[in-house]
Amino acid sequence: MDSESAAEGAGKRPSLFRQRVFGGLWVGSMASSVGSAAGLLAINWLVYTVTNSALDVGLVGVAGVVPRVIFGIFTGTLADRYSKLRLMIVADAFRAATMIAFAATLAIYGFSLYVVLIAVFLLGMGQSLFRPSINSFLPQAVAKEQLGAANGLFTAAQEVTSIAGSPLGGILIALVGVAATLALNGASYIVSALMIVFVAVSLSSQAAPRAAAEAKRPPFMEQLRGGFAYVNGERGLLKLTLSSFGANFFLSLFFTYLVIYVTVVLHQSAFVFGILGAAGGAGFGLGSLLVGRLHPERRFGVWFSAPWGVTGLAMLGLVFFPGTVTAAAFLFVGTAFGGFGNTAFFTGVQSYVPREVLGRYLSIDEVGSFAASPAGQLAGGLIIAAYGLNADFILAAVGTAVFAFGLLLFSDVRSLRV
């Protein structure tokens, strides 16, 4: 165990919810996920109701992605250099300050799209620091045999809280207004930061070994180059990382325009759109939870690729069998496989990649994933305008399946195992 390990003894660990470190992180994650979902809904509602422009809503999405692409590689290096818990606290405090300042500006000066974009950009910066820190810390917080279950619980909780947070955001907007809803989102980050402080205090006895390890760290740029060198040397991991760019491009063609499918193909209301979103979230969460029981991370190259290929095939069901019930069923099945593959990947990587480079690998992988999303969203709009929604969905489904199943052709991907 290293300097930030949450070990409480060499014996068998108690259940995850009886462990202070995991429990603190999980409760904090739940609080910030609910707040984030409510805050995001409030921001999109504010922008669209004031400007009546879908383009402006799209700009908000891009403003949140760009900082994660620009800063993601550097924040992964920070996670490998400094205390991950401290970085998470800093990220939460930064996001809380951003949302509270944004809410105050809105209440005092009124709406400004420029202020909205700046606030969302700053939130993306905080997220780019938080994610590699918590994902690379989790293997130190729980026993190796509990890592799959821990990842599944985190993912499932985020999906459930996102589903709950959106209607909560709508209720809060109606009751207290957009500015107060944004301020409450900021408060949720404070709760998350306090829970991480609780975790850090419980591990404070390990501060001296950690400080000694930090004193020996190499220069920042040398560590950054070392992260790229590691990924380049691990050919199987490199293929998975590169594939995430292509797969997320095709997934963006699909999920971005699900709202059009509901209104144009199904001729249904926002209620049905919410039902389909809930079906997708429930499927992803359930698939994630299964990883802790089935342990597919032992061959995570295979169990990342094959399930996402099935997800692509399930997406075709919405095209050839249109209908509210069938769409919900195909989304549930497709996202369940996707959640299973995604959690198997993260659990496998957290055990496979050396801890001293894990933050950099995770950030490099995330940058590749997010970089493709804006391109996919733009391409989807152009395809729909030229050839229609079915063409866009078919391309998305086939592209996702080809990228995912294609990985199984490479022996270095199939051989990735813990």
DSSP conformation class of 264: I
Confidence of residue 108 (pLDDT cuts 50, 70, 90): very high
Domain-located, residue 56: yes
Domain-located, residue 140: yes
CA–CA distance from 65 to each of 306, 328, 331 (Å)? 27, 28, 24
Domain-located, residue 7: no
Backbone angles phi, psi at 184, to 5 degrees: -65, -35
Residues 99-114 have a mean pLDDT of 93
Confidence of residue 49 (pLDDT cuts 50, 70, 90): confident
Domain-located, residue 110: yes
Domain-located, residue 220: no
Close Cβ partners of 233 (under 8 Å, ≥ 6 residues apart): none
CA–CA distance from 344 to each of 133, 159, 297, 299, 300 (Å)? 19, 17, 5, 9, 6
Which CATH number fits the domain that encloses residue 300?
Answer: 1.20.1250.20
- Whether 24 and 140 map to the same domain: the answer is yes
The per-residue pLDDT for 314 is 95
In this predicted model, what pLDDT tens digit does every residue of 329-365 receive, in sequence order? 999 999 999 999 999 998 998 889 888 888 888 888 8
pTM above 0.85, yes or no: no
In this predicted model, what pLDDT tens digit does every residue of 222-271 receive, in sequence order? 888 888 888 888 888 888 888 878 888 898 888 878 877 887 888 887 67
End-to-end alpha-carbon separation of the chain, Å? 18
* Residue that is last in its domain, among 176, 200, 224: 200
The per-residue pLDDT for 270 is 61
Domain-located, residue 68: yes
The per-residue pLDDT of the chain, averaged, comes to 84
Residue of 361, 340, 363, 131 whose CA lies nearest to 237:
361
In this predicted model, what pLDDT tens digit does every residue of 387-406 receive, in sequence order? 888 999 999 999 999 989 99
Do 364 and 231 touch, CB atoms closer than 8 A? yes
Domain region containing 166: 15-200
Domain count of the fold of the chain: 2
In the predicted model, is pLDDT for residue 186 greater than 90?
Answer: yes
Confidence of residue 118 (pLDDT cuts 50, 70, 90): very high
Confidence of residue 11 (pLDDT cuts 50, 70, 90): very low
- Whether 129 and 87 map to the same domain: the answer is yes
- Whether 252 and 384 map to the same domain: the answer is yes
Do 47 and 61 touch, CB atoms closer than 8 A? no
Do 328 and 275 touch, CB atoms closer than 8 A? yes
